[in-house]
Amino acid sequence: MEWEDDAFVLSARAHGETGAIVDLLTEEHGRFVAHVAGGASRRMKPFLQAGARVKAGYRARISEQLGSAILEPVGEGPSALFDDPMALAGLAAAAAVAAGALPEREPHPGAYYAFESLSNAFGLPDIWPAIFVRFEAGLLQELGFGLDLSRCASTGVTDDLVWVSPRTGRAVSRAAGEPYADRLMALPGFLLGSQGGLRDGDIRAGFDLTGHFLEQNVFGPLNRPLPPARIWLLERLADAGRL
C-alpha cells in the first residue's frame, strides 16, 4: 500500500528513541496513523505539532499493518500563531476533536476541507470561535449526524428558528418551541447563514450545541469523553470573556 497526499498533523507521540507515531488527517485517504522515522529529532518536532500542514508519503507492506510515512512541511503551520496562545489552544482542540471523532482509514474529504478552513481562520480572532463551531457541525454532517436547521421540526416554517431539539438535532421555531423552551437548546443565528451575525451568548450556545451532539452521537457510543483540549479551550474562552 502506497500513496502521497496533503495532510494535517493531528497528534504525534514519541516511539522508541528517535521515531514518532503520527496521526494524520489527509485530504483523500482520511485519518491515518503512521510511524515517522526521526520524528523525535529537533529538526522534525516543529512540524509535528498539532495542526501542522504537511505533504505525506505513506508506505506499508500490507494494508492492515502500521505503515511508515515521510513528511515534508508546508507553510508556517502552528508557528504562525505563537503570539496568540488562544488561537494555538483552538488549533490543538480542533485537532483533538478530529482525531477522536473520525474513524481511521475512511475517506472524509469534507472533514479535511473544514479543518483547512478553520486553520486559515485562526488569524481572525473575532470570528474563529464561530468558525470552530461550524467546523464541529461539519464533522457531525460528515459522520452522518448533521443538524437539520432548514425548517421547524414541528410546523415546517423556515422563519424565526431559535431552538434545536436535543434529541433529534432538528430546528424549532420560536412560536412552536415556546411551551418547551426549558427542554430545547438555543440555536445561534450564525449557524443559519453568514448573515446571522453574532450576538452575546451565541458562541457559548454554539459550542453547547455541537458538543452535545458530538457527545451523544460520536464520542459517547465509543465510550470516550469529549477531548480535554476542547474543554480547556472553552475554559480559556470563558476566562477571556469570549463566550
Output DSSP code: residue 148: B
- Identify the pLDDT of residue 157: 96
Cβ contact 88:126 at 8 Å: no
Same domain? For 143 and 214 the reply is yes
- Identify the pLDDT of residue 65: 82
Same domain? For 115 and 231 the reply is yes
Same domain? For 58 and 43 the reply is yes
Mean pLDDT (whole number) for 98-121: 96
The reply to whether 161 falls in a domain is: no
**Considering the chain, what percentage of its residues have pLDDT values greater than 70?**
99
Cβ contact 31:99 at 8 Å: yes
Question: Which pLDDT tens digit goes with each residue over 53-77?
Answer: 999 999 988 877 888 999 999 988 7
Same domain? For 54 and 143 the reply is no
Phi/psi at 221 (nearest 5 deg)? -60, -20
**Number of Cβ within a 10 Å radius of residue 18:** 13
Same domain? For 142 and 230 the reply is yes
pLDDT at residue 144 is higher than 90: yes
Range of the domain at 49: 2-77
Alpha-carbon separation of residue 88 from 46, 52, 95, 131, 134 (angstroms): 14, 11, 11, 15, 18
The reply to whether 176 falls in a domain is: no
DSSP E strands in 18-175: the ranges are 19-26, 30-36, 53-59, 67-73, 161-164, 171-173
The reply to whether 118 falls in a domain is: yes
User: What is the Cα–Cα distance from 51 to 33, expressed in whole angstroms?
Assistant: 15
Same domain? For 30 and 123 the reply is no
Q: How many domains would you assign to the chain?
A: 2
